Amino acid sequence: MRLSLRPAAKLTALAALVFIMNVFIWSNYLKHDFNDVSTIVESNKHGRQQQQPVAQHVNQSEDEVTPLHKYKRSAKSFIGYMDTLKNEGEKLKKVVQVAHLEPTQLDDIYISVKTTKNFHQSRLRLIIDTWVTLARQQTYFFTDADDLEIQKLLPSGHLINTNCSSDHSRKSLCCKMAFEYDNYMASNKRWFCHVDDDTYVNIPQLVALLQKYNHSEEWYLGKPSLRHPLEIIDRNNPVQKLAFWFATGGAGICISKALALKMLPHAGGGKLMTVGEKIRLPDDCTVGYIINYILHKELTVINEFHSHLEALWQIRVPEIKNQITFSYAKYGDKNNIVRLEGFDENKDPTRFWSIHCHLFPYTKHCANMPR
Ligand SMILES: *[C@@H]1O[C@H](CO)[C@@H](O)[C@H](O)[C@H]1NC(C)=O
Ligand SMILES: *[C@@H]1O[C@H](CO)[C@@H](O)[C@H](O)[C@H]1NC(C)=O
Ligand SMILES: *[C@@H]1O[C@H](CO)[C@@H](O)[C@H](O)[C@H]1NC(C)=O
């Protein structure tokens, strides 16, 4: 046994020496060849040294360091280089993936709901109990009064009192939209989607829609209520008319991050309100003016968005599951609502519960729906 072990040990020692020499040569070679990499590596080296204070155990001045120590150190630095290169590569890969390749998820969407204190009980409760249950962490409510009762139903910080006036004036609408925009910008999410408090949002379909568009490109998604661009008088030049398209706020508006960034000089820090005042138009028209007239970006029409300005009863039942937003309205004694079997119309006049249970039959409260 002894006889056979000795040559083996010698061989191992030799192999180790050759390996260390190799590593030394390689590490020197790398140092020369990857000079530009060393700047990236530099920042990581400090962190690494703090975590592994190996050098402190070797309490020797530079002169006393034996060649073997030098080799060890070189080997260590070589492995360090390789680690760092690997780490940087992985990190870079992640950034690229996150930026372009990962499909949009619900959490990449910032959903803002515009409301007012008079509708907290009648409208907010209804949507909080239905579609918001599918996007609690992604939905923010912009209102004009504090409300502890509603606050309790939401994650903290999701009911935002803008202190804007509670009337339905152009100014207070733009005031809230300005807050929505600024809060979206602070969220760093891929998409900014705005709806009104009388809008039902089919969350899985909204996510599926946004997966079709690249948030790094400029997208203005929505549905106009007019068949033609809105024409206004240019107040700087009254003989001149301006025309632009805008998406109706109540149907839903989604803006990609790239476009939201472009809007910053015109909409950021409350400027959206100033623009609204200048053109004397409400919030959704103001957004259209900034995007379509100032920035020359087209509105992409999303047919699956539905505000109460269109005939909601015309949506066919088999197509409900493919639609993204719905609304409701009462004109005199005529109801403009989605027509589908479900809960009694006296109990569910908006049809939101019936829509919700039609889409998600196995959720809470839906067991009682007649089918
Ligand atoms: C290292 O050397 C210095 C001075 O030569 C001495 O003060 C210190 O205690 C030594 N540290 C260790 C860990 O031996
Ligand atoms: C999205 O757009 C950006 C910017 O134009 C582009 O670099 C990226 O490759 C696009 N991503 C996909 C998945 O097409
Ligand atoms: C609204 O006013 C209250 C009381 O003055 C203040 O605490 C709150 O921060 C204001 N909200 C916003 C969004 O500025």
Q: What percent of the chain has pLDDT over 70?
A: 73
Tell me phi and psi for residue 179, to 5 degrees: -65, -40
Give yes or no for residue 12 CB within 6 A of ligand 3: no
Residue 217 and residue 257: Cα distance in Å, rounded?
8
How many of the other CB atoms lie within 10 Å of CB of 222?
28
Q: What is the pTM of this model?
A: 0.71
* DSSP element (H, E) containing 111: strand 109-114
Lowest mean pLDDT among 33-37, 103-107, 135-139: 33-37
284 catalytic per annotation: yes
Q: Catalytic: which of 284, 333, 344, 348? A: 284
Please tell me if the CB atom of residue 335 comes closer than 6 angstroms to any atom of ligand 2.
no
- The domain limits of the chain are 8-100, 106-301, 312-368
164 token code pair: 């804007």
Q: Which residues contact 69 (CB under 8 A, 6 or more apart)?
A: 58, 60
Residue 244: pLDDT band with limits 50, 70, 90: confident
CA distances from 240 to 109, 227, 232, 235 (A): 39, 21, 9, 8
Q: What is the CATH number of domain 106-301?
A: 3.90.550.50
- Helix, coil or strand: residue 350: coil
**Closest ligand, as measured to the CA of 96:** 2
Q: Is the dihedral of CA 112, 115, 117, 123 positive or negative?
A: negative
Do the beta carbons of residue 5 and residue 48 sit within 8 Å? Answer: no
Q: What is the pLDDT of residues 114-144, one digit of tens each?
A: 999 999 999 999 999 999 999 999 999 999 9
